[in-house]
Amino acid sequence: MRRSAVLVAFLAVLLTGLVVAAQDGFSLSGRIGATDQESQEGYFAVDNQTMIVVKPGSQLHAYLKSKVGQRVRITIEPDSESE
């Protein structure tokens, strides 16, 4: 019973931290990977842990295609003008 309470408390703290982080934005860093077909379709992996999907033909798509095989840091944050 005590273990369950500790586990529930730990999960609550973890989820609260994730919610706060999502509101402020987050940063990914790692090596960009994609096959030729994946990069054409807009699918890019960051260190085989995260998949980013972007719209083909966009500026971000062109940037990520040019960085395949290189280490990058990508920061995702809310636009202050859209709130």
pLDDT at 31: 95
Residues 55, 58: Cα–Cα separation, whole Å: 6
pLDDT at 77: 83
| DSSP letter, residue 54 | -
Residues 13, 2: Cα–Cα separation, whole Å: 17
17 and 11 in contact (C-beta within 8 Å)? no
pLDDT at 43: 94
pLDDT at 72: 93
Residue boundaries of the structural domains of the chain: 2-77
Predicted TM-score (pTM) of the model is 0.65
Reported as a single tens digit per residue, the pLDDT across 53-83 is 999 999 999 999 999 999 999 888 877 765 5
27 and 77 in contact (C-beta within 8 Å)? no
Reported as a single tens digit per residue, the pLDDT across 4-53 is 766 666 666 666 666 665 567 788 899 999 999 999 999 999 987 889 99
